[in-house]
Amino acid sequence: MQNLPHQYLVSADAESVGNVILSSNGVADLKSAAPAEFGGPGDQWSPESLLVAAVADCFILSFRAIARASHLDWNSLSCSVDGTLDRVDRVTQFTGFEVSATLHVPPGTDAGKAQRLLEKAEHVCLITNSLKADSHLETSVQTSAA
- Supply the DSSP string of 75-113, one letter for each residue: SEEEEEEEEEEEEETTEEEEEEEEEEEEEEE-TT--HHH
Contact present, 125 and 58 (Cβ < 8 Å): yes
Predicted local confidence at residue 144, as pLDDT: 83
CA separation for the pair 136, 73 (Å, rounded): 25
Residue 18: pLDDT above 80?
yes
Which CATH number applies to 47-143: 2.60.120.620, 3.40.50.300, 3.30.300.20, 3.30.1370.60?
3.30.300.20
pLDDT of 146 > 70? The answer is no
E strand residue ranges, the chain: 11-13, 20-23, 30-32, 76-88, 91-105, 134-143
Report the alpha-carbon distance of residue 50 to residue 47 in Å, rounded: 5
Half-sphere exposure of residue 52, counting CA atoms within 13 Å on the CB side?
Answer: 20
**pLDDT class of 145 with cuts at 50, 70, 90:** confident
Reported confidence tier of residue 1, pLDDT bands at 50, 70, 90: confident
Q: What is the pTM of this model?
A: 0.94
Question: What average pLDDT does range 84-112 have in this prediction?
Answer: 97
**Cβ–Cβ < 8 Å for 36, 44:** no
